């Protein structure tokens, strides 16, 4: 049985559970135990603190894990990064008090820097020839400069709001991270087969995120122009309508360009435009 480790609670828990659910791996939530068997797929889910997931997978106590890439990079355990999962995006950045003048990386020479990611920072400084004192702090790193514990911080940033409210400014983005699927190196063929099946389901779910299904009616004379406007997986489906000289088109559109696409289509005579939710794309 394949065992997959995910975060018990915290920022990645909900989306990890959702991804698994969308991929057809569900558990009965009544009483959550630390290890649960999926109802409909040969998988067990192990709930852990995110700090422990890379080591657990590296040791083979879980075969797969869903964790932020930042944790994988910091912990340094040997795991295979199998797939980016498209959620939990953030970056680890260097930030300094906004009253300071920043003139490039050499600013950090001789400075004290508070972080929960000492290994990632050490590596970055070594690569860039910087010598600084790295202070490993677990907990609220962002208050360290105001408390006089450090000159700068190296911490996770997503919106940047926490930095601003602590009088800090981001000066270097060092590591970009998102949730990733990791695996024990050298999984046996039986487990790898289940892992591959799961990854292909994940792929379908991830591909469907942010996509809409578009249906519309169009004069046949505007068809060529519509095809050039519409992004499609191969090319849009075109079906004749009972009404002569009209046709119906169907295609998949990225949500980001949905409104601009609709406006362009209307401008060339499209009518009866329907936008439908799209769940999964299986290629
Ligand atoms: P645990 O109790 O499991 O140890 P945690 O407190 O260490 O949890 P969370 O704050 O739940 O961790 O964050 C989990 C992961 O979410 C991070 O390691 C990172 O990959 C990702 N993440 C995305 N955005 C942010 C953010 N703004 N702040 C912190 N983590 C973020
Ligand atoms: Mg943690």
Nearest ligand 1 atom to the CA of 8 is 3
Q: How far is the CA of 118 from the centre of ligand 1 (A)?
A: 16
pLDDT at 23 over 70: yes
Farthest CA pair distance, the chain: 78
Non-local CB neighbours of 238 within 8 Å, separated by 6+ positions: 223, 247, 248, 249
Q: How far is the CA of 70 from the centre of ligand 1 (A)?
A: 9
Tens of pLDDT, residue by residue over 157-181, are 988 899 999 999 999 999 999 999 9
At residue 139, the pLDDT reads 87
Catalogue all structural domains in the chain, each as residue range(s) with its CATH number. 2-87+178-207 (3.40.190.10), 90-177 (3.40.190.10), 210-277 (3.30.70.120)
Angle between helices 189-208 and 13-22 (to 10 degrees): 100
CA-nearest residue, atom 16 of ligand 1: 11
| Residues 211-239, mean pLDDT to the nearest whole number | 90
Nearest ligand 1 atom to the CA of 50 is 3
Ligand 1 pocket, mutate which of 6, 11, 181 (most atoms under 8 A from CB): 11
| Residues 198-220, mean pLDDT to the nearest whole number | 94
At residue 30, the pLDDT reads 67
pLDDT category of residue 119 using cuts at 50, 70 and 90: very high
Tens of pLDDT, residue by residue over 25-38, are 988 776 778 999 99
Helix (H) or strand (E) holding 197: helix 189-208
Nearest ligand 1 atom to the CA of 11 is 11
Ligand 1 cavity residues, CB under 6 Å: 7, 10-12, 49-51, 68, 70-71, 88, 90, 156, 158, 177
Q: What is the mean pLDDT of the chain?
A: 94
Give the DSSP per-residue string, 142-176.
GGTTTTTS-SEEEEEESSSHHHHHTTEEEEEEEEE
pLDDT category of residue 124 using cuts at 50, 70 and 90: very high
Tens of pLDDT, residue by residue over 66-117, are 999 999 999 999 999 999 999 999 999 999 999 999 999 999 999 999 999 9
Dist. CA 99–CA 93, nearest whole Å: 18
Residue with tokens 């400014």: 169
At residue 230, the pLDDT reads 87
pLDDT at 263 over 90: yes
Q: How far is the CA of 10 from the centre of ligand 1 (A)?
A: 6
pLDDT category of residue 246 using cuts at 50, 70 and 90: very high
pLDDT at 154 over 90: yes
Q: What percent of the chain has pLDDT over 90?
A: 87
Q: DSSP state, 25?
A: -
**pTM here?**
0.88
Residues with a beta carbon under 5 angstroms from ion ligand 2: 50-51
């Amino acid at each position: 049985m394949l065992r997959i480790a995910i975060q018990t609670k915290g920022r990645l828990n909900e989306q990890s559970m959702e991804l698994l659910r969308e991929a057809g791996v569900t558990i009965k939530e009544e009483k959550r135990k630390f290890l649960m068997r999926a109802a409909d797929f040969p998988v067990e889910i192990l709930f852990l603190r995110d700090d422990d997931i890379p080591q657990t997978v590296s040791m083979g106590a879980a075969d797969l894990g869903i964790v932020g890439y930042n944790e994988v990079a910091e912990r340094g355990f040997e795991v295979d990064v199998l797939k980016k999962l498209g959620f939990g995006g953030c970056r680890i950045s260097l930030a300094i008090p906004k009253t300071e003048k920043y003139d490039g990386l050499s600013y950090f020479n001789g400075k004290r820097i508070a972080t929960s990611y000492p290994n990632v920072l050490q590596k970055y400084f070594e690569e860039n020839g910087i010598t600084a004192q790295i202070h490993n702090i677990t907990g609220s790193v962002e208050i360290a400069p105001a408390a006089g514990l450090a000159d700068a911080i190296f911490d996770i940033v997503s919106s940047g709001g926490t930095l601003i409210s602590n009088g800090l400014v981001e000066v270097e983005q060092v590591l970009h991270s998102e949730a990733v699927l990791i695996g024990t190196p050298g999984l046996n063929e039986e487990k790898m087969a289940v892992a591959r099946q799961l990854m292909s389901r994940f792929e379908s779910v991830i591909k469907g995120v942010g996509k809409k299904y578009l249906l519309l009616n169009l004069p046949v004379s505007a068809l060529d122009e519509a095809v050039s406007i519409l992004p499609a997986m191969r090319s849009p489906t075109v079906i004749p309508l009972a009404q002569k000289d009209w046709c119906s088109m169907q295609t998949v559109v990225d949500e980001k360009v949905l409104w601009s696409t609709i406006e362009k289509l209307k401008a060339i005579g499209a009518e009866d435009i329907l936008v439908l939710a799209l769940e999964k794309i299986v290629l």
